[in-house]
Amino acid sequence: MQLKWSDVTPKPLWLNRRQLIAGAATLLASPALARIEAAPSKYSSTEEPNSLEDISTYNNFYEFGTGKEDPAAYAGKLTVDPWSVVIDGMVDKPGSYDLADLVKDQPLEERIYRFRCVEAWAMVVPWIGFELAGLLNRVGVQPGARFVAFETLLRPEEMPGQSSPFIEWPYREGLRLDEAMHPLTILATGLYGEAMPKQNGAPIRLVVPWKYGFKSIKSIVRISLVDKMPQTTWNMLQPNEYGFYSNVNPHVDHPRWSQASERRIGAGLFGGRQDTLMFNGYEAEVASMYAGQDLAKDY
Ligand SMILES: Nc1nc2c(c(=O)[nH]1)N[C@H]1C(S)=C(S)[C@@H](COP(=O)(O)O)O[C@H]1N2
Ligand SMILES: [Mo]
């Protein structure tokens, strides 16, 4: 049985969210707002999500510019249908998969996750997605694979930011295999019960809630199972500031600013700074993966 959002959410909250959605609907790229039915997840945070407006107008997506408002302004041009994802490297069933085939049979859930950018702001987002592990199990990970590498679309005609040589395109990211297989790691195809807004990484993006936001790569076109730690965009740019792991850690500062606290976007009058939690609040679930590692060294 598929549960609906309204079956599991107290009504006032639900109405409130629906009103927010109605108010911000014009921000969404897709003209046909077909609601996605997704079961709620036991992994969800109990925090109230940010508004759809906050989530879709304050973004980092350097393919569309470096300003927080650039993605909402310029991502509309991106063609997201058709879309395919190449899965290659150390897998039993490599290939170029049409997005619909890739998502088919993967149990979609709504997962409300805290999201923490390395720039020390945070949001709470109601993602729609499925576990990356489900997909990796379907394509069959071979024994020698130790890492998963991801790449974003390279299409400068539709992504004006890619004409800037500041980043060596395409944007890339990577996870260790155990991180990729962790049940908190999802591929998201929507948020707030709708298809993913383009500025948030349509049609499919990674979400790794215990890591800084830049690990959550958008508009993915390639997933490769590899035996060596892959290169990642921010590490290539500034290795002393952005490591491979990039776990949210209030005790390890960025060289140019503190990571001990964060600003909740849209918190308004009641907001302000709050203390950052170890692993962004997911310590109980993920800390054991890093037992024995010096996280000041493996930042
Ligand atoms: N391809 C791509 N993915 C990306 C980025 C980017 O510039 N390009 N920015 C990252 C950063 S720094 C953050 S904080 C998050 C922002 O996600 P959001 O805009 O959905 O909040 O996306 C990440 N994924
Ligand atoms: Mo970020």
Provide the 8-state DSSP code for 180: H
Could you tell which of 214, 233, 235, 265 is best to mutate to test the pocket of ligand 1, judged by most ligand atoms within 8 Å of the CB?
214
Asked if residue 14 has pLDDT above 60, the reply is no
User: Ligand 1 atom 16: the closest Cα is on which residue?
Assistant: 60
pLDDT tens-place string over residues 124-158: 999 999 999 999 999 999 999 999 999 999 999 99
CA distance 281 to 116: 10
Residue 94 Cα to ligand 1 middle (Å): 27
Our CA dihedral for 47, 291, 245, 200, rounded to 10 degrees, sits at -20
Could you tell which of 53, 55, 61 is best to mutate to test the pocket of ligand 1, judged by most ligand atoms within 8 Å of the CB?
61
Could you tell which of 62, 216, 242 is best to mutate to test the pocket of ligand 1, judged by most ligand atoms within 8 Å of the CB?
216
User: Ligand 1 atom 10: the closest Cα is on which residue?
Assistant: 214
* CATH class (in words) of the domain with range 2-290: alpha beta
pLDDT tens-place string over residues 174-227: 999 999 999 999 999 999 999 999 999 999 999 999 999 999 999 999 999 999
pLDDT tens-place string over residues 84-137: 999 999 999 999 999 999 999 899 999 999 999 999 999 999 999 999 999 999
Is 49 within 8 Å of 127 (Cβ atoms)? no
User: Ligand 1 atom 12: the closest Cα is on which residue?
Assistant: 214
- Judged by DSSP in three states, 114 sits in strand
Asked, as a colleague might, if the bond just before 170 is cis with ω within 30 of 0, I would say yes
Residue 22 Cα to ligand 1 middle (Å): 25
User: Ligand 1 atom 11: the closest Cα is on which residue?
Assistant: 214
| Amino acid identity, position 202 | A
pTM: 0.90
Question: In sequence order, what DSSP letters do the residues of 207-248 get, joined into one string?
Answer: E-TTB-GGGS--SEEEEEEESSPPP-HHHHH-TTT--SS-B-
Q: Which residues contact ligand 1 via a Cβ below 6 A?
A: 59-63, 117, 152, 171, 200-201, 213-214, 216-219
